[in-house]
Structure 1
Amino acid sequence: MRILNICAYTWQSGGPPKIIFDHTEVVLRYGHQVDILSPISPGEKPYPVPDGARLILCQRTPVISRFFREFSIELYQYLQQHVHEYDVIHCHGLWHFGTLAPFMIDRTVAKVITIHGVLDRWVYAHHNWKKQLMDTLAQKAYLQRADLVQINNSDEQDDVLRYLGHSHSNIVIIPNGVKVSDFTTLPSKGNFRQKFGLPTDKKLVLFMSRLNAKKGLDLLLPGFRDYVRQYPDTVLALAGSDDGYEATARQFIDQHNLGDSVRMVGMLTGDDKKAALADADLFTLPSYSEGFSMAVLEAMAAGTPTLVSDRVGFGEVIRKHEAAGLLAHLTVESVTIGLEKLLGDDKLRQRITLNAMALVKAQYDIDVVAKQLLDEYSKIVRSK
């Protein structure tokens, strides 16, 4: 098959590029062709591309793309010229120009849309007037026309039903996956602390995600403040690129004199990310909304115990799988209590680590989930 993924394939885009990268490595091993079509702006850094795949970059159209997200005349022109070279076009997210354009141009090539959590009530409520305008123009109709809608969990099934007003004719739950082998061997403990000047005699709590309002930093920062007042032998590392919340976070840290207890280390990649997971006593993401958090999945694969909200995309699975992580409510007090419970109980963290690693290996290894999606591609291509 010839497969085209359409996504803002940059480091600034969060989880989808990583998901596409890992899936593509598996799909290429099965002998298929994969291209990735991405809008990009000056200054953005493209995400790495697996050997054998092709990345096609299209400049966002100035001015218009500020209001119509990802708008790119170059992207539209590429699709006009090449759309029929593909068997499957896979669009990632909604309300992006790259999700609309293939439907505007063609009715014959099989099309897939992955929701990536954007129909969650919390997410949908933000910039809602723009979304309602695009829904009126085309988005709902195009989602209905998709040959396959991929969702990550049963909550997203409810979200699609609420959004469309009825069920979609072909919707399938396929979770995100992680390349478990990437986390078999981690950097030696202490590397991350040494590189970023973090104390070696304090426990380390790690937040590693975009600095965005939806990630629950308004819960984590005051929750950690209350915790560290009682247990000053702990440091919180905030690792992630700014996505609108860095200034607020810095203001909170300064206002509450947390400079020695909270460190901002920027976005981590490659060995630095693995070193952070190896050094951390606890990973936390009290997010308001995630389609299916790759950051949490990677922490679990690395053997780092997790304190997360039940909105990370697979909270119920974590809850049911013999406590593969600790779930916090979306309150400051719950975050504080979670920190106290986990950081105060070494045996509980060890038990969570073992349960989480077993869960990831059994259900979320990339070889398993990528093959599921590939099989769904084959079904819709045969049906066209």
Structure 2
Amino acid sequence: MKILQVTQFFKPSWEAGGVARAAYEISRRLQMAGHDVTIYTTNRNRYSTGLPTNRPLNVDGMKVYYFENLRKYLPGTALPLVPYYLPFVAHRDLQNYDIIHIHEHRTLLAATVSHYAREYGIPYVLQPHGSLPKDRALGKAKIKNLFDFIFGTAILDAASRLVVMNSIEKEQIIRMGAHEDKIAVVPNGISLERCVTSRSKGEFRKFCGIENGSNLILYLGRIDRIKGIDFLIEAFSRLVQEQNDAILVIAGPEWSYKRELEEKVRTLGIQDRVRFVGYLDDVGFAYQDADLLVYPG
């Protein structure tokens, strides 16, 4: 089959979080199974990659378009990702695909691809990746409502299949008007290859400056408000009152929200018990030394 994957973030933009990783792993495994896979994404990245844009590149056997976005020319603005060349490519090529997989629906990539998919009669699967709630957007609810009014509802309604992570997300998407018979609950997959490390046990503790006798509590994921890390820090501050050998390590891409978390740590007086170590490409390095892995969100 000729399959198109649509995602705002893709390899090497791992710091964007789980969507980039999920889209890559799904695409790679489809390609390994013999399918012809193309990815539409953007060149949005915290770090300069030097990747050519607006033309296909071969990435691990897959054809990837890194569409340039207008944020490059308007730094410091709140402009959404605007892949200005995407409509030309979608209009030209979309009719050639058998099926499309759209990751996240409140994006201009999703709006553009959904429009041409409907025009050409190409079925598409929509996977929100936890982006549905408006009450958790903390200030972005109005923007989400506006997007849904203009694009989002139509994108949702026209999807042939809706993939959600769990029963909670299923209930959320039903409340938005989705038909239950179109929904499939598919938890995120785990790449066991990424859990294997060549490093020795104990190296991560040394990297973090943690003694071997301490209990290492690990959060590994995107540093984002919706992940519930503030609740984890609050709970940890109570734990250390009873267990003074515990250390909390927070590992993941560090966006502006990290500053709020650091302030919370200082306010609670637990600076010596919490480590922010940034993004880790070698996650197995951290997993093997952790006594407890916590995902509060």
Question: What TM-score results when the alignment is normalised by the length of structure 2?
Answer: 0.86
SS, match of residue 285 in structure 1: coil
The within-5 A match list for 1:185-334 is 187-270=199-282, 273-287=283-297
Is 2:23 the counterpart of 1:20?
A: yes
**CA distance in structure 2 between the aligned counterparts of 1:71 and 1:225, rounded to whole angstroms:** 42
What stretches of structure 1 of length at least 5 have no aligned partner? 288-384
Identical positions, percent:
25
CA contact (8 A) 1:28 1:34 kept: yes
Q: CA RMSD in A?
A: 2.5
CA shift, 1:134, in A, is 1.4
User: Which residue is 1:76 aligned to?
Assistant: 87
Secondary structure of 2:247's aligned partner: strand
**1:371 maps to what in 2?**
none
Farther-moved stretch of structure 1 (201-210 vs 248-257): 248-257
Gaps of 5+ in 2: 52-57
> Mean Cα displacement is larger for which, 56-65 or 194-203?
56-65
Structure 1 equivalent of residue 68 of structure 2: 59
Seen in structure 2, the aligned counterparts of structure 1 residues 67 and 254 have a Cα distance that, compared at 3 Å, is closer
Structure 1 residue 41 and structure 2 residue 54: aligned?
no
The C-alpha deviation readout for 1:149-197, integer Å capped at 9, x for no partner, is: 1122222222122112x52552222222113354366743101112232
Q: Would you say the 8 A contact 2:23–2:103 is kept in 1?
A: no
Q: How many residues align?
A: 283
| Change beyond 3 A, Cα 1:51–1:15 | same
> Residue in 1 aligned with 2:33?
30
CA distance in 1, matches of 2:48, 2:211: 32
Q: Secondary structure at the match of 1:219?
A: helix
Q: Deviations over 1:70-91 (max 9, x none)?
A: 2211222221222123222211
8 Å CA contact 1:12, 1:44 repeated in 2: no
Pair 1:176 & 2:188 matched? yes
SS in 2 for 1:205: strand
In structure 2, distance between residues paired with 1:109 and 1:238: 42
Deviations 1:105-133 (A, max 9, x none): 34222211112122236436651111111
Q: Identify, as 1 or 2, the structure richer in helix.
A: 1
Task: Give the C-alpha shift of residue 67 in structure 1.
Answer: 4.6
Q: 2:99 aligns with which of 48, 66, 88?
A: 88
Contact 2:135–2:141, Cα closer than 8 Å, also in 1: no
The residue aligned with 1:101 is 112
- Paired position in structure 1 for 2:3: 3
8 Å Cα contact 2:201/2:288 also seen in 1: yes
**How much does 1:147 deviate?**
1.7
Inter-partner Cα distance in structure 1 for 2:277 and 2:137: 30
- AA aligned to 1:155 is I
Which deviates further from its counterpart, 37-46 or 141-150?
37-46
CA distance in 2, matches of 1:74, 1:281: 48
1:301 corresponds to: none
1: distance between equivalents of 2:137 and 2:226? 12
Task: Establish whether residue 112 from structure 1 lines up as the match of residue 122 from structure 2.
Answer: no
2:147 aligned to which of 119, 134, 149: 134
Cα distance in 1 for residues equivalent to 2:79 and 2:122? 25
Deviation at 1:204, TM superposition (A): 0.4
Alignment-derived partner of residue 55 in structure 2: none
CA distance in 1: counterparts of 2:66 and 2:281, whole angstroms: 22
Q: Is the 8 A contact 2:15 2:279 kept in 1?
A: no
What secondary structure, in the 3-state scheme, does the structure 2 residue paired with 1:57 have?
A: strand
**Could you tell me whether the CA contact under 8 Å between 1:114 and 1:149 is conserved in 2?**
yes
After superposition, give the CA deviation of every residue in 1:347-370 in whole Å (9 maximum; x if it has no partner): xxxxxxxxxxxxxxxxxxxxxxxx
CA contact (8 A) 2:117 2:124 kept: no
Q: Given the superposition, is the C-alpha separation of residues 96 and 68 from structure 1 closer, same or farther in structure 2, using an over 3 Å criterion? A: farther
* Residue number in structure 2 paired with 1:154: 167
**How many angstroms does 1:66 deviate by?**
4.8
**Distance change >3 Å, CA 54–CA 115, structure 1 → 2:** same
Asked if the contact 1:59/1:72 (under 8 Å) is kept, the reply is: yes
- Displacement of 1:34 in angstroms is 1.1
Q: How many Å apart are 1:53 and its aligned residue?
A: 1.3
